[in-house]
Amino acid sequence: MSALVSVVAPIFNEGPGVDRFVRRLSDVLGDAGLRYELVLVDDGSSDDSWDRIVQHALADERVRGVQLSRNFGKEPAVLAGLEHAAGDAVVVIDSDLQHPPSAIPAMVQRWRDGAHVVEAVKRNRTGQGLIGRLGGKLFNRAFTGLTKVDLVNATDYRLLSRSALDALLKMPEHSSFFRGTSSWIGFRRSIIEVDIDHREGGASRWTFRSLFRLAVNGLTSFTSAPLHLVTLVGLAFAAFSVLLGAQTLVRWLRGGSVAGFPTVILLLLVMGTFILLGLGVIGEYLARIHEEVRGRPRYLVQEKSAQSATTPVPEQLVRVEHAER
């Protein structure tokens, strides 16, 4: 029997987009002659997305649905899909069709040629505004510089072999960052370039606030570099204070007047800003520690669509469901 390819996609208020996504994936994967399953994770949608997923699951046993009990966010939804995927290789893709499904057969071929992780990198950023493009580039370059994990032009669109996926699922942290952790695990890798398409139907659900929150969570959950940066800036301010103090003492001993008020106010503003930013960085890490100590589940499943009796259930999923009972 040929290898099974699982395609995981988080769904949030996509509505008719669910139908477009399933049709497009079915056409691409069917034409490529792949044995596949679609694992669609409804991340607490408030529209009819789940009803559409169930309808497709009833019509096609290769479509499986997982409904989370509320909106947990994209990262937990991706994790839920990965833990419910049964394939020998698993592809993560966005459901808005900005990630071109036509690249999946090439990704599968790279996997068959020996790659354990196949990353799709962007050739363009179609459909993104200027602020979105600049923000994305800034975050990816900052993340790469702080962690030494290359995310320049990277996307969540990637294929993982079963062995790479098992290694990823062993990582116990609560706040996961799929794009970073799937790069951190290593394994033999391959890269393909893709053109990002315009979103089909509706507007993006991402706001500036949610993107900023995702960036902060990604950095703080993956690296402690910002804490070290606070320490380095603190040392720089300490050195500057020593020099300024020495200059002030010398001028006082010589009887010269010390320029006071504007300089003092400027220093207070700079120091106050740094202290507040430093406390904010420390607070973010305390929040991550608090989440880990509480040990709450990263997501909760409310309902699953009907599953074919012929669809194999991965060993780690059996363990997870047994633990939930």
The rounded percent of the chain whose pLDDT value lies above 90 is 3
**How sure is the predictor about 293, in pLDDT bands with cuts at 50, 70 and 90?**
confident
For 139, the 3-state DSSP assignment is helix
Q: Are residues 249 and 318 in the same domain?
A: no
Quick one: pLDDT at residue 137?
64
Q: Are residues 256 and 152 in the same domain?
A: no
Segment 82-88 shows an average pLDDT of 88
For residues 230 and 136, which has the higher predicted lDDT (pLDDT)?
230
**How sure is the predictor about 154, in pLDDT bands with cuts at 50, 70 and 90?**
low
User: What are the backbone dihedrals phi and psi of residue 35, each rounded to the nearest 5 degrees, phi first?
Assistant: -90, 120
What's the chain's Rg over C-alpha atoms? Answer: 24
Domain-embedded: residue 218: no
Distance (Å, rounded) from C-alpha 177 to C-alpha 219?
Answer: 9
Domain-embedded: residue 219: no
User: What are the backbone dihedrals phi and psi of residue 4, each rounded to the nearest 5 degrees, phi first?
Assistant: -95, 130
Q: Are residues 121 and 134 in the same domain?
A: yes
Domain-embedded: residue 94: yes
Domain-embedded: residue 217: no
Segment 93-116 shows an average pLDDT of 87
Pick from 141, 143, 155: nearest CA to 220: 143
Quick one: pLDDT at residue 40?
92
Confirm if 70 and 44 have CB atoms less than 8 A apart.
yes
Domain-embedded: residue 255: yes
Distance (Å, rounded) from C-alpha 59 to C-alpha 62?
Answer: 9
Say which CATH number the domain at 194 has.
Answer: 3.90.550.10
Domain-embedded: residue 213: no
Domain containing 49: what range? 4-207+297-324
For residues 143 and 111, which has the higher predicted lDDT (pLDDT)?
111
Distance (Å, rounded) from C-alpha 51 to C-alpha 49?
Answer: 6
**55-64 burial by CB neighbour count: b if 16+ within 10 A, else e?**
bbbeeeebbb
pTM of this structure = 0.65
Q: What is the pLDDT of residues 162-186, one digit of tens each?
A: 988 988 888 877 767 777 777 778 7
Alpha-helical runs (H) found in the chain: 16-31, 49-59, 74-84, 104-112, 130-147, 162-169, 178-184, 208-222, 225-253, 261-294, 315-324
Work out the mean pLDDT of the chain and round it to a whole number. 75
Q: Are residues 72 and 30 in the same domain?
A: yes
Q: Are residues 128 and 267 in the same domain?
A: no
Q: At residue 289, does pLDDT exceed 80?
A: no
Confirm if 298 and 72 have CB atoms less than 8 A apart.
yes
Confirm if 283 and 49 have CB atoms less than 8 A apart.
no
Quick one: pLDDT at residue 314?
45
User: What are the backbone dihedrals phi and psi of residue 318, each rounded to the nearest 5 degrees, phi first?
Assistant: -60, -40
Distance (Å, rounded) from C-alpha 82 to C-alpha 168?
Answer: 10
Q: Are residues 83 and 163 in the same domain?
A: yes
Q: Are residues 60 and 87 in the same domain?
A: yes
Confirm if 137 and 121 have CB atoms less than 8 A apart.
no
Quick one: pLDDT at residue 101?
87
Domain-embedded: residue 285: yes
> Regarding beta strands 189-194 and 117-122, do their DSSP bridges make them parallel or antiparallel, or are they unpaired?
parallel
Q: Are residues 165 and 81 in the same domain?
A: yes
Question: Based on the structure, what is the number of domains in the chain?
Answer: 2
Quick one: pLDDT at residue 262?
62
Q: What is the pLDDT of residues 15-65, one digit of tens each?
A: 888 888 888 888 888 888 888 899 999 988 888 888 889 888 888 888 888
Distance (Å, rounded) from C-alpha 274 to C-alpha 280?
Answer: 10
Q: Are residues 184 and 230 in the same domain?
A: no
Quick one: pLDDT at residue 286?
78
Q: What is the pLDDT of residues 119-132, one digit of tens each?
A: 888 776 555 555 55
Query: Residue 271: what residue type?
Result: M
Q: Are residues 15 and 74 in the same domain?
A: yes
> Regarding beta strands 89-92 and 158-161, do their DSSP bridges make them parallel or antiparallel, or are they unpaired?
antiparallel
Confirm if 56 and 18 have CB atoms less than 8 A apart.
yes
CB atoms inside a 10 Å sphere around CB 182: 26
Q: Are residues 314 and 290 in the same domain?
A: no
> Regarding beta strands 4-11 and 35-42, do their DSSP bridges make them parallel or antiparallel, or are they unpaired?
parallel
Q: Are residues 41 and 100 in the same domain?
A: yes
Quick one: pLDDT at residue 318?
40
Domain-embedded: residue 220: no
Q: What is the pLDDT of residues 231-272, one digit of tens each?
A: 777 777 777 777 766 776 677 667 665 555 566 666 776 777
